[in-house]
Chain A
Amino acid sequence: MIYKKSLFNKEIRQSYIDSLSSRKRLSFMCLFLAMMTIVVYLLLQIMYDSVITELMPELMLPSYFTIAYIYNWVAYIFFASYFMAKYQSLTLSEISENKWYMLSKMGYNSIAIILYKMLTSISIVLGVYAVGFVIAMLVASILKFTMVWGYFLPSLASGALNVLIAIELILVISLFSDNKSTAKNRFIVALIICEVLKVISGYYRLVTNKVLMVDIANLFNPKFSVYPTLALTAAVILPLFAYLGARRKSNFYSLKNEVGGVTIVSYNDNRVIYPSKRGRHSVFSLPALLAKILLMLILLGSIAFNVLILIASLGSSTKEFSIFGYIPYIIKSSTMETAIYKNDLAVFKKIDSQYPLKAGDIVLFTSEKDSNEVFIMSVVRSDDDKVVADYLKYPVLVGSGELQETVNRNRVYGLFFGNYRIAGAIILFINTFPGRVLTLFVPLIMLFFYNQIIDFYKKLKNR
């Protein structure tokens, strides 16, 4: 390595391979992306019997299309984070740090440096993305989905376009940002703008449509969404922009020792330097404070949610857990569809025996035979003493009306108030092992060892 003086080698080494012992990092990244996709897919399958399947079938249905869609998200988030983490070595910020100044003074051609930097960054990111995609598809073959070849190319193209735009954006942003944190913030804002554009232009409707996504021509058909065409145009323009900007900037030295701790004010063609009262760096940072507060709220919220679920799970059918007269239930059958679906969070309001019931009301009552057995049924008819209730949906082999129940009015103690499908899906996830780890274990560790974790992160960063 010591004899290598090629710029391509330098870029590879600097951006992707930190030491001689990690030369296989690129391969590892491909494998990591593929494996992460499968893990996310399997995690999502936990919530298969929930509203999520209905709302986002592209994430839940067992097919190669789902794997490709999840891979695109995983790769996009991974690369966006990687660009921010490896900002200094991956972007054109080297010009501001005068690293290129030294090279150009030592005989390196600045045009070559720019081109190698951009070419290496873009080609490696696309290469890793593409290889990872293929590996994800190969690994997914063990799940034995029906093969539809038409999905591959459009999915690959849409994901690659997103990743390409992200790397090009950070290359351009690095030219106009004085420091890493400014660049990071600008990059995040740029990505948010891209997401807003995607939503407005109907990009997500297009890429989640299995029928349209079998033909790559549909991806760039403005009739469905104008975003891919816009992104493709930007993908051509942004490198040119970055190249011209870098060319211009690399002709100049970036002054590091701007007179620090002072304010420069224009006065009669002269610049007057007054000592700054507060200095250049403020200790107080509003975004950092807001981020901390938000993080704290998320941590405390997820712990509180877990505690509620744990308390609720302690309750039994005879000793239900109620909050201000409302009884929550996670529905584990589909007999009340289409009013209440399986894994929904249904809430019942406590009622007394005088409450007037009418046909169609969904009620909560205990069985005549066993008071520990709780039923949720729809009222068929009701009089002062007796209530006749029945399920809305019967299992296939059971005849209609066979499971109808007639109970004393005083056994009915809850009236259906509403069902919360998303909350039901969240509870379903939290009740799984990975859900518990993510929403209880991690926040608790973060709360108790916050300072140690931050110190460790700083040490890692400094190293």
Chain B
Amino acid sequence: MQEYSKSNTSADFALIEEVPYFDIPAEDGNNNFDKADTRTYEDLDNEEKKNIAVIMAGVTSQEQRTDDHSKVLTPYFSNINLTVSAGETWGISSNDLIEARLLCQVIGNMRHYKSGRCQLGPLGTMKVKRRILPHIFYIDTHEMLYSDKIVLEQFMFATGRIPNVFSDADRQAKLLKLLENMGMGYIALSLISDLYDTEKLLLELLIASESDSRLIVCDWTGYTFSQSEIEILAKITERLRYLEKAVVITTMQPKLIGIACDSTLYLYNGEPVYCGKVTDLYAYADKVAFVLQDSNAQALGRILSYLLPGWRVKVSGNNLYLYNYTDKPLSTDDFYRLLSENALSPQIIKVNKGRVSNSFEELVEQYDLQKKSV
């Protein structure tokens, strides 16, 4: 078995070997958003420069929107600081599709920006936009594939010019194996025209993983992936992480970020409200500890707000959300004990392990509160 090469040359192409799957790396619980990286490319040492795929410092969009009431023009996004290193998978999202899309297009060298600095790997950004660059693979459409081919055939054709030592038969077997490993074996022999658009996007990403581009930028704001497709995407991004390729996925699906990305940037009204690891996001913003379901949620909520001082209790229909705003975490055992001691027996108890959507909601609430207080 050949070893995976982590160099960037196409000769060492990482074609079709089995990839071990990693768990999303657990980081320290510190929130690194507060200390967002504002360094420019010149501030980095040589070793860091090698690993940097994108570095944005104070980037503001050229496009502006107008407020309906005040008629004041404001940029779609402003002061974006973002550092994407090799092997990282970033999920960018926003409350406004246009913001996210514009930012993604700036990262992909598709659009000019007004101020700040955006450096894409060693080549920087180009004055001429949309030019095909060797180190960026940009995907914003599912139409890149030939609809009259089957998936495996398209894969074989697309990778046909990559130098490798395998015969066509071996290459086919290895590509098929790769598709199976990624959970795409069920479509390997399907005609591309029969696939869902999102399945085509996944195939494009998998093909892009075989290219020698170090940065893959996906503007998928217009697509909605199913649960099983997100799981396939997670496998592909794990593989890309192993191949040390940087991936930026722009999406309006928080769930996709939670499952397939290790870092996220969330914009709210054009301002970055979170930029950092997904695992840190949960600690930083997702304060929901438990979710209970009961037909008498109101009464249950009143009792629990008395039993859990410093906690926030939110009732929504039959659901009861318990937010832990104290410094002291409450273990599941302790929570069960508390319920049984007080003869409380809700119909369903869920332990929240972290949800990106909850976190984004919490971030927005915090942002609005801060704005009001200012």
Contacts and interface: CB of A to CB of B under 8 A. Distances in A.
B132 A107 contact: no
Interface stretch (A235-243, A259-267, A303-311): A259-267
Contact of A270 (B63, B105, B137, B222): B63
B373 to A, nearest CB: 30
17 contacts: A2-B153, A3-B169, A5-B156, A14-B146, A14-B148, A102-B204, A103-B158, A106-B161, A107-B10, A252-B131, A256-B143, A257-B222, A260-B222, A270-B63, A272-B63, A273-B65, A463-B193
Main secondary structure of the interface of B (DSSP, over half): mixed
Interface of B: 10, 62-66, 73, 76, 98, 101-102, 105, 108, 110, 114, 130-132, 137-138, 140-141, 143-146, 148, 150, 152-153, 156-162, 168-169, 172, 193, 204, 207-208, 210-211, 213, 219, 221-222
Contacts of A195: none
A372 to B, nearest CB: 67
Given A256-B141, A262-B98, A102 B207 contact: yes
A102 B144 contact: yes
B146 A256 contact: no
Contacts of A267: 64, 73
B159 A106 contact: yes
Contact of A105 (B105, B152, B213): B213
B97 to A, nearest CB: 9
A286 interface: no
Contacts of B102: 259
Interface string A261-290: 010100100111110000000000000000
Nearest to A262: B98
A105 B148 contact: no
Given A3-B156, A5-B157, A102-B207, 13 more contacts: A3-B169, A5-B156, A99-B145, A102-B204, A105-B137, A106-B211, A253-B132, A255-B130, A257-B101, A267-B64, A270-B63, A272-B64, A273-B64
A33 B160 CA distance: 37
Interface in A142-162: none
A18 interface: yes
A267 B72 CA distance: 13
Contact of B140 (A18, A106, A252, A255): A255
Contact of A107 (B148, B162, B172, B208): B162
A99 B64 contact: no
Contacts of B141: 97-98, 256-257
A271 B66 CA distance: 11
B166 to A, nearest CB: 12
B132 A5 contact: no
B110 A255 contact: yes
A260 B143 CA distance: 17
B221 A105 contact: no
B148 A1 contact: no
Given A1-B153, A3-B156, A103-B158, A257 B219 contact: yes
A98 B132 CA distance: 11
Q: Please indicate which of the listed interface residues B131, B156, B159, B160 has the most CB atoms of chain A within 10 Å of its own CB.
A: B160
Contacts of A104: 132
A247 interface: no
A2 B172 contact: yes
A111 to B, nearest CB: 14
Contact of B132 (A18, A105, A273): A105
Contacts of A463: 193
A463 B192 CA distance: 11
Contacts of B172: 2-3
A273 B63 contact: yes
Contacts of A255: 105, 110, 130, 140
A19 B147 CA distance: 11
A175 to B, nearest CB: 16
A198 interface: no
Q: Please indicate which of the listed interface residues A14, A104, A107 has the most CB atoms of chain B within 10 Å of its own CB.
A: A107
A108 B98 CA distance: 33
A449 B249 CA distance: 47
B210 A256 contact: no
Nearest to B114: A270
Contacts of A10: 146, 157
Contacts of B143: 97-99, 256
